[in-house]
Amino acid sequence: MPANPEVNIEALLAHVPLFNGLATDEIARIARGTREVNSLRGDILFHKGDPSNGFYLIVYGQVKLAFTSSQGGEKVVDILSQGHSFGEAVMFMDKPCMVYAQALSDSLLLHISKSVIIEELERDPKLGRKMIAGLSMRLHHLVTDVESYSLHSGRQRIIGYLLRDNTRSDAKSLTVTLPTNKGVIASRLNLTQEHFSRILHELSDKGLIVVEGRKISIPDVEKLRCHDI
């Protein structure tokens, strides 16, 4: 896709939490090492094994990180959307990419070069602390995933996923819109698509959820949560 002349890279970078507090001249230096990446749905941003010379920030759209097993099956590692970044860890490790990244929808991303980040880290240690905090959160997220795969049933994983954004403790009901197709989400939860669909049917038959395409209504949040026990 052609570059969008209306995109103001400096303005976008200034609103990224990672770069909060940086001065205008610092943002300008990072912008000089940043390029716009327009991707259509299905486009591969990078393959497993590709060298890494920077990391990505999603301005809008959706990206999945995944790898393919020796048997040819796909395992989705993460599904990322607006405001998320990815690729920092392998960039610092000087290792090839461990997964591939594919756009799940038409997306606009920024690719921030490793060289400009290294230069800014030498100038401003606070940026390093922010990046370490972000990577630590991602590691915590990964450990939580491994714990879920190891200790929780498929039903518990699905219920946990449906309730993951329910921050209101007093919410009686909830409507969740799945961000992508059920096959991708099933892989993200370490389930087959058939197992994922079967559990949704079971929960629907019990009146715990109502499935309408990607929209899932939860008429009684507490009842569904108790079913997770």
222, 220, 197: which is closest to 209 by C-alpha?
220
- The residue range of the domain holding 185 is 154-227
Of 93, 120, 151, the one marking the end of a domain is 151
Query: 35 lies in a domain?
Result: yes
Whole-number pLDDT of residue 172: 87
110, 98, 112, 105: which is closest to 43 by C-alpha?
105
CATH of the domain at 188: 1.10.10.10
pLDDT value at 229 more than 60:
no
CATH of the domain at 46: 2.60.120.10
pLDDT value at 168 more than 70:
no
What is the three-state SS of 4-24? CCCCCHHHHHHCCHHHCCCCH
Can you read off the two tokens belonging to residue 55?
Answer: 């990391």
Of 151, 185, 213, the one marking the end of a domain is 151
Query: 51 lies in a domain?
Result: yes
CA–CA dist 53, 163 (Å, integer): 37
Does one domain contain both 82 and 105? yes
Query: 162 lies in a domain?
Result: yes
pLDDT value at 171 more than 80:
no
Does one domain contain both 145 and 88? yes
Give 17's contacts (C-beta < 8 A, 6+ positions apart).
Answer: 83, 130
The band of 167, judged by pLDDT with boundaries at 50, 70 and 90, is low
Residue type, 64: K
Residue type, 225: R
CA–CA dist 29, 123 (Å, integer): 11
Is the distance from CB of 98 to CB of 90 less than 8 angstroms? yes
How many domains is the chain built from?
2
| Tokens 């498929």, located at residue | 154
Across all residues in the chain, what is the average pLDDT?
Answer: 86
User: What is the per-residue pLDDT across 128-151, written as a single tens digit (0 to 9) for each?
Assistant: 787 787 777 777 777 777 776 676
Does one domain contain both 20 and 112? yes
Mean pLDDT, residues 25-54 taken together: 94
Overall size of the chain counted in residues? 229
Give just the sign of the alpha carbon dihedral 101, 119, 60, 6.
negative
pTM comes to 0.77
Can you read off the two tokens belonging to residue 77?
Answer: 């590692």
Q: What is the dihedral of CA 109, 113, 119, 124, to 10 degrees?
A: 20
The band of 106, judged by pLDDT with boundaries at 50, 70 and 90, is very high
Mean pLDDT, residues 194-199 taken together: 94
Of 129, 151, 173, the one marking the end of a domain is 151
